[in-house]
Structure 1
Amino acid sequence: MVDESDVKKALNGREHPLSITLAIGCLKVLFFVYDVITYIPFKIFADPAAKLERSKRIKAEPENTSTDAVWTNVHAKNGLLTSTFEGIYDLGSQWEECVRRYGDLPCMGTREVLKVHKEKQPNGKIFEKWQMGDYQWRTYSQVDKRVNMIASGLASLGQQEKEPIILFAETREEWMTTALACMKMNFPIATIYATLGEDAVEYAINEVGAKTIFTSETLISKVKKAMSNGASSIENIIFFDSVDPASRGESVDVSLPFTLLSFDQLLSRGEPHPVPIRAKKDDLALIMYTSGTTGNPKGVMISHGNIVAATVGQGFSINLTSNDRYIGYLPLAHILEVCAEMVGLTKGVRIGYSSAQTLFDRAPKILKGEHGDCWALQPTLMACVPAVMDRIFKAVIDEVNANSEIFKELFKVCYERKRLRYEEGYSSFLLNKLVFNRIGKLLGGNVRQILSGGAPLSPETQRFMNICFCCPVVQGYGLTETCGGGTIADVDDLSTGTVGPPLPCCEILLQEWAEAGYSPKNTPPQGEILISGPNVAHGYFKNEEKTKEEFVSVNGKRFFATGDIGEFREDGSLKIIDRKKDLLKLAHGEYISLGKVETNLLTNPLIDNVCVYGDSNKSYLVALVVPNQKNFTQLAEKAGADTSNFEKLCVDKKAVEALQKELSSYASAKLQRVEIPQKLFVCHEPWTPTSGLLTEALKLKRKNIEKAYRKELDELYK
C-alpha cells in the first residue's frame, strides 16, 4: 500500500518553514469542518461502509480444499462463459452481430494529419511534429462494407481459405478492418510488431509462409529487405498510406517483381455486399508472435473460439456501454490491444485510433500549441502498459515539482487526504473539483476507468493514478497463450497490488514449486499459476516440443503453465509475487525476485529504466540504470559534478555516488537490504525495441542487456 512517504520522496520532501506549516494547518482544519458537514449526506447517498463491503466481497473460490484445487470466479459456478452472443463462437459471426445491434453508431475513427513539420536538431536528427485535425468517424455499417470489400478483394487475388495472411503495421483503423475481413473469410492472421528488427521480421515471414502481407507504406523497405534475404513466399504486398499527406507514394516502387497494391486499390477490387462466413470455432484466427524476451519470437496459435471466450470473460469484468469511447494506441500485434478492441466492439463502443507519439499534448510528435489525441477524443476508457503508466506518474510528479514549495506541500497534503478517504470508501468531490480534475485533463478529462496489463504495475503508481485521475485503475493478468485472459481486478476493489479473480471464462490452479518454498498448502496459498479454459491457445506454431513443455495436463485437464508465481487472497483475488525466470539465488542462499526490485526502483523520478543483475556466486546485486536526463542532471549539479556533457556525466564518480545514495534511500522502505543493488552502472543511451534491449511491449530483454553490458557488469563485481 502507498503511504505518504512514497509521495514525499517523489516530491523531494523536506522540512518546511513556518508559513507553509500554518497553511497546511489551516487546510487540515478546513478538511475537518468539511467532514463534519458532509458526514450525514455521505452516509445517506454514498455510504462508505457499502463501498468497503463491495471491495472485500468474495470474488473467487477453490472448488475444494485439496492442494490441486482449481479457483473459479463466483459468476462461473455453473460453468465457464464461452460466448458474448448466444450460439456465436467465431469472430466473423460475432462481428456481424455487432453490426446488427449497433449499425448506425460510430465505430472507428481516425484523426486527420493536416501537415507534418520536420524540425532539424543540432545533432542532425529530424524530429517530426504533427499538426492534426478532428477525428473522422465511420459507423459499424460503414466499417462492415469496407470489411466485405477487403474480403472479396483478397479473394480476387487468389487468397484461399485457411491460407495465412501477415499483418505487419502499426495500430490504425485499417489494421482492425483488415483483421475482421480475414476473420470472416477464415484467413488466419499472423501478426508482426511494426517495431521488430529486420531479422525477426524475416524469421516470422519465413515461418508463416504467407503469400500476402499487409504493411504500412513506411515499412515496405523492411519487407523488401526480408524478401531479398530469402523470405520468398510473398506474392502480394498491400500497404496502408503514409499518414503524412505530403509524402504519400514516396516509398512505393512500382517496378517490383510482385503485386503491390495500396489499401484503396484493394478496396476498389472488392464488393460491399456481405460475404459468407467460413470460419468455425476451432479454426485458427491468429498466429500471434510474442515480442520475445529471449531468442526468436514464438507464434502462438489462437482460435476463433479462444478470442470469443476471452472477449466475453473480459467484457464481463469491464462495465461498458455504447456511450463509451476507447482510445486505441497500444500495438495491435499485442493480444492486450486486440482483446480490448474486441470487447469494445461487442458493447457498441467507438474506437478512436492514436499512437504513443500523439497521445498527449506533450507527446513527441504533437506540434507545440496543438492538442494530443486524448484532448480530441476525450476517451472514457483506456488501456495502458505499466511502462506508460510509470511515465505518466513521473510526468505529473515533475509538473508538481516545477511549482513553488507551498504548492508542492499543499499538493502532498491534498494527495494524502484523498488517499486516506479513498481507502475508507469516501469520494473527494471538493478535492477533485479544485485539484485533481486539472490533472485528469491530461487524459482528456472524461476517463472513468484505466486498465493496466502486460507487466506488473507497482502499487505506488496504481494508487497515484487512482487518486490523480479520479477513476479506478484496475490491473489485469494474462498472456498471449491465454488470449490475454486470466484475471481482471474488480472495479470496486479499493486495494492495490492485486490482479483480481479469474475471469469467468477460465480457471486457475496453483502448482507447488518446492525449491523456492511456494505451495498451495501455504497460508495464503501460493504456487506457479496454471490457467485452463476455452481461452487457452492451441499451442505454438510449428513448435510441438515447446507446446508440450508449456501446455500441460493436470488431472485430465489442459492448462498453460505461465512461469509466474501467484498467491490467492481470502477474497479470491490473485496477486503476482514472483516469476520463475526472474528468481535468483545469491551466494548466502537468499532468493531474490529481480522483477520485484525493478518494479520498485522504476517509480523513482531519477530513473527511466533499470535492469537488476545478480551473480549467484556473489552476495549482492548490481544494476544497470537508464537515468531521467533532466532529474539526474539536477541531482549531479547538487553533488558538484560537471554537467556539460551527459555521456561523461553518466560515468562521473560524484554523480553516480549521488544516484546510488538516492536510490538506496528510496528503496530502503520497500525492499530488504539484500534486495537493494549495491553498485550501479549509469547508461547514457535509452533502451528501445529498435536497439534490441526492450521487447515491443517495453519489457526488458534481460539476456540481450546482459550481453550488451557484459564488460560493465563484470567491472561492477570486481
Structure 2
Amino acid sequence: MSTHKQHLRSNRSKRQTKKAHSASGHPAGPYRDLDALDGLIMCLEPDVNTLDRMFEVSARRFARQDFLGTRDVLSEWEEVQENGKVFKKVVLGKYRWLSFEQAYRAARVFGSGLAALGQEPCTNIAIFCETRAEWLIAAQACFMYNFPLVTFYSTLGGAAIVHGLNQAEVSHIITSKELLETKLKAILMGVPKLQHIIVVEDKPTSWPGYPRGIHIHNMAAVQKLGEKPDNGLRSPAADDVAVIMYTSGSTGIPKGVMISHSNLIAGITGTAQRVPDLNKSDTYIAYLPLAHVLELIAEMVCLAHGCKIGYSSPYTLADQSTMIKKGSKGDSSVLQPTLMAAVPEIMDRIYKNVMQKVQEMGVVQRTLFILAYNYKMEQLSKGYSTPLCDKLVFQKVQALLGGRTRVLLSGGAPLSAVTQRFMNICLCCPVGQGYGLTETCGAGTISHLWDYSTGRVGAPLVCCEIQLKDWVEGGYRSTDKPCPRGEILIGGPNVTLGYYKNETVNQKDFFVDENGQRWFCTGDIGEFHADGCLKIIDRKKDLVKLQAGEYVSLGKVEAVLKNCPLIDNICAYANSEESYVIGFVVPNQQRLTVLANELGIHGTWVELCNNPVMEEEVLKTITDTALTGQLERFEIPQKICLCAEPWTPETGLVTDAFKLKRKEIKTYYQHDIERMYGGK
C-alpha cells in the first residue's frame, strides 16, 4: 500500500477516535483533551511565561528571517460607479519585510521612547488602530516595558471610545492618521486625561487645529527618542496585565477584559497545538482586527514559531476585492499564504462569489463542476483525497487565496455546514472551526484538522477544560440523552482576570473552584458528543454575535424600537450564521391603517400586514427610530415581518407578564425567518 493511501486511512481512523474525555467520568465533565491527561500545558517552552520573553526568544532563533510584511501603495484614486457611489481603488507593490531582529529592535526603541514621553510601567496605554505591522510592534513595545495595552476596535463609536479611555485613565494613545482625523479628533475634549497621541505614519509632522495640552508625535520620532539608553525598562511578571481588551459592547457600553501574560501564553499554546507542523516556512495573512482576540492570538502563534506575517485588509485581500484595481493583484495572490484565520462572513462571501460564477457557466462546465464537487464530498467522507479533481477543477478556486493555503482557522461566530464543506472541497484545505471568547483568550476548542464533520467546534484545547452546567429553566441537563447538554463553563490558565472595574459582573461570570482553578460561565449552551467534541446549540442570554463578530443585544434593540409609534410589540432576531438582524413586528393597527390609506393600499388587516410595500415603509420608519436612538448600523433590522395577530399569553408567544418567549417566537415564525434570510 502506498504511503499516501496509508496516511489517508490513518486520517479516516483518526476521525473515528475519541478526541477528549470526561476526567470525572460524569457526563457534565470536566472534558479534557487526551493530550492533557497528565496536567494542563501552560507555556510554549520552559521559562517562556511572558510575551516579551517569547518575542526575545523568537528574535534570537529567527533573527534574520522575514517576519512582518507590508505592501507599498503605488497609486490610488477614486472611481465613480454607475449608481453614483465612489470607491477608492489602489495598485499595490510587492511585500516589504522586516526581519524578526529588526521588528524586535523597532519595538524596543519605541517602548523606550514611550517611557521618555512619561508613560509609566503598570499604567494603561491605549491603541486605536487598523491591523498593520505597526500595531504589533507597538503592542510588543508595551509588553516589554510592562505598559498594559488597552485595545479598541477601529469601528467603535465615539461614545464607546470615550468611555473606555476615561475608565482606563489613559494619557497616551497610539493611532493612525485616518482614525485620528475621522474619529479621535471629535472626542478629544471628552477625554481630559489624554495628553500624548502617537501616530503610526511618518507624515504629516505638524498637526494644527488640535486642543491645547494635546501633543501629537509620529511613531518614528518616538522611536528616535527611544534610541537613547533604556528609559525605565521593567519586565513584566506572568500574572501582570498585558492587555485590557474592550469588546464591541453588548449593551452600548463596552467592557474591558483584563488579560494577563500567562493567560495569553496559555491561549497561544493551546491554539498552536491544533495546527500541525507550524514552522518558519509558513506564511500567515493578517487582515482581521488585531483588537479582536482571535487575530491577536493567531499572530502571536506565528511569532512564537517563526512564521511570516503579511498584512492585508478585507478590502485588498483578493484580486476581486473592492479596493483592488481591476487587472492588478490582491494581497493573497502576491503573498500566497499557507495559514489564514477567517470569520464566517469572509468565507460566506467567497462561497457566494464562486457559486454565482458556477451558475454563469455553460451547461457542460457547470455539470462537470457539480459532479466533481459531489464526488470529492463523498471521497472526503471516506477519508480519501482527490488530487486529479483538485488539479483539473478546483485549482482556480484555490488560487483565490493564493493557492498554497494548508490550514484555515474559523472563529468569531458559527460557520455554516454548507460553507465549511465548500472550503474543504474547493479550497482543498482543512478548516479548523474553533470556539472561544475574549474572556478565555479566544481559546476553548478547535476541531482537529483531520475531522471533516460539520456543525461542531471540536474538542477542548490542552490549555483548558470544559464542563456543562445544568440550565433547568431552558430544559438543558447533563443527564440528557443521547448527549449531555448544559451551559458551557471553561476553566484553565487561559481564563482571564475578569472585567476591568466591574466587580459585580465578575462575581456573576467568573469563579474559582476548590482546586484554585479559574472558570468562566459563557452563557452559551452546548452538548458533548461521544468522541469528546462540542457542539454549540443555544445561547442562554439574548446576546447574539453576528457573522462578522459584532455583538447584538436583542433586548437593547427592542427597547429602542418600541419608541416607534407604528410598533405595538417587537422581537428582534439574529442568526449567528448571518450578517444582519431581522425583526418581527406587531404593528399598531390604527397607525398602520392610516399609513396604508396615505399610500393608496387597501385590503384586510392580514392583507396589509402581508403587503411587501407596507413592510418596506414600516422598515424605513423603524430605521429612522433606530438612528435617533443611536443604534449602531449592525444593530438595525434589515428586514422585518409584520405580524397580524397580537401576542398574548394565550398565543404562547409571551409570558403572563408579557415578556417575549424567544424560542416559541422563533419556532412559530420559522418560515418567515427562512424567507428573510434567504437560505443557501
TM-score by length of 1: 0.77
Secondary structure of the corresponding residue to residue 209 of structure 1: coil
Q: Which residue is equivalent to 1:225?
A: 186
Q: Give the superposition deviation at 1:75.
A: 0.7
The answer to whether the 8 A contact 2:342-2:410 is kept is yes
User: Which residue matches 1:355?
Assistant: 313
Following superposition, the deviation at residue 410 of structure 1 comes to 2.0
| Shift of residue 570, structure 1, vs aligned partner | 1.2
Partner residue of 1:310 out of 267, 275, 285? 267
1:119 is matched with 79
Q: Match of 2:328? A: 370
1-structure distance, mates of 2:238, 2:56? 15
2:567 is matched with which residue?
A: none
Shift of 1:253: 2.5
Q: How does 1:565-576 map to 2 (within 5 A)?
A: 565-576=525-536
Cα contact 2:572–2:583 (8 A) shared by 1: no
* Local SS of the residue matching 2:541: helix
Percent sequence identity is 41
- CA 226–255 in structure 1, closer or farther in 2 if over 3 Å, else same: closer
Q: Is 2:227 the counterpart of 1:262?
A: no
2:283 aligned partner: 325
Q: Within 5 A, what are the aligned runs for 1:295-306? A: 295-306=252-263
2:661 aligned partner: none
Q: Which moved more, 1:56-65 or 1:171-180?
A: 56-65
Distance in 1 separating the partners of 2:459 and 2:614? 43
Q: Output the amino acid matched with 1:325.
A: T
| Corresponding residue number in structure 2 for 1:80 | 40
Rounded Cα–Cα distance in structure 2 between residues aligned with 1:338 and 1:114: 28
Q: 2:411 aligns with which of 453, 466, 477?
A: 453
Note closer, same or farther for the CA distance 1:579–1:54 as it changes in structure 2 (3 Å cut): same
Unmatched runs of 5 consecutive residues or more in structure 1 = 1-39, 243-247, 585-591, 603-608, 618-650, 660-679
Residue 184 of structure 1: which of 135, 144, 147 is its match?
A: 144
- Inter-CA distance 326–655: structure 2 relative to 1 (3 Å threshold): farther
Letter in 2 for 1:515: E
Partner of 1:528: 487
With 399-408 and 203-212 compared, the bigger mean Cα shift is at 399-408
Deviations 1:165-204 (A, max 9, x none): 1000000000000000000000000001111111111111
Contact 1:116 1:129 survives alignment (8 Å): yes
Q: 1:413 is matched with which residue: 359, 362, 371?
A: 371
Alignment partner of 2:460: what SS? coil
Distance 1:566 1:131 in 2: 46
Amino acid at match of 1:296: I
Q: 1:281 aligns with which of 213, 238, 251?
A: 238
Q: Which runs of 4+ in 1 moved over 6 A?
A: 272-275, 654-657, 680-685, 691-695
Distance 2:205 2:522 in 1: 45
2:129 aligned residue: 169
In structure 2, give the amino acid aligned to 1:220. Answer: L
1:207 aligns with 2:167: yes
Q: What is the deviation of 1:582? A: 4.6
Mapped partners of 1:593, 1:199: distance in 2: 24
Residue type at the aligned position of 2:136: M
**Which of 154, 159, 170 does residue 114 from structure 2 map onto?**
154
Native 8 Å contact 2:586 2:642 kept in 1: no
Instruction: Give the Cα separation in 2 of the matches to 1:681 and 1:369.
Output: 39
CA distance in 2 between counterparts of 1:715 and 1:252 reads: 55
Q: In 2, distance between residues paired with 1:198 and 1:480?
A: 22
Structure 1 residues 469 and 104: CA distance shift in structure 2, 3 A? same
How many Å separate the matches in 2 of 1:573 and 1:273?
A: 52
Amino acid at match of 1:481: E
Q: How has the CA–CA distance of structure 1 residues 614 and 580 changed in structure 2, closer, same or farther, with 3 Å as cutoff?
A: farther
Between the aligned partners of 2:133 and 2:312, the Cα distance in structure 1 is 9
Code of the residue aligned with 2:244 in structure 1: it is I
Residue by residue over 1:577-607, the C-alpha shift from the partner in whole angstroms, topping out at 9 and shown as x without a partner, is 11112599xxxxxxx9966x663xx4xxxxx
Residue in 1 aligned with 2:581? 611
Q: After alignment, is 196-205 or 337-346 more displaced?
A: 196-205
Distance 1:206 1:100 in 2: 38
Alignment check: 8 A CA contact 1:85 1:94 kept: no
**1:241 Cα deviation after fit:** 1.9
Of residues 562, 565, 568, the one that matches 2:522 is 562
- Taking the aligned partners of 1:339 and 1:598, their CA distance within structure 2 comes to 22
In structure 1, C-alpha distance between the alignment counterparts of 2:370 and 2:230, rounded to whole Å: 58
User: What RMSD, in angstroms, separates the aligned Cα atoms of the two structures?
Assistant: 3.2
CA distance in 2 between counterparts of 1:684 and 1:379 reads 44
**How far, CA to CA, are the matches of 1:684 and 1:435 in structure 2?**
47
- Partner Cα separation in structure 1 for residue 204 and residue 644 of structure 2: 51
Deviations 1:690-710 (Å, cap 9, x if unpaired)?
x97669xxxx64xxx36x98x
SS in 2 for 1:578: strand
1:226-254 alpha-carbon deviations (Å, 9 max, x no partner):
112x2111110001228xxxxx5399437
Structure 2: 5+ residue stretches without partners: 544-553, 555-570, 588-608, 647-680
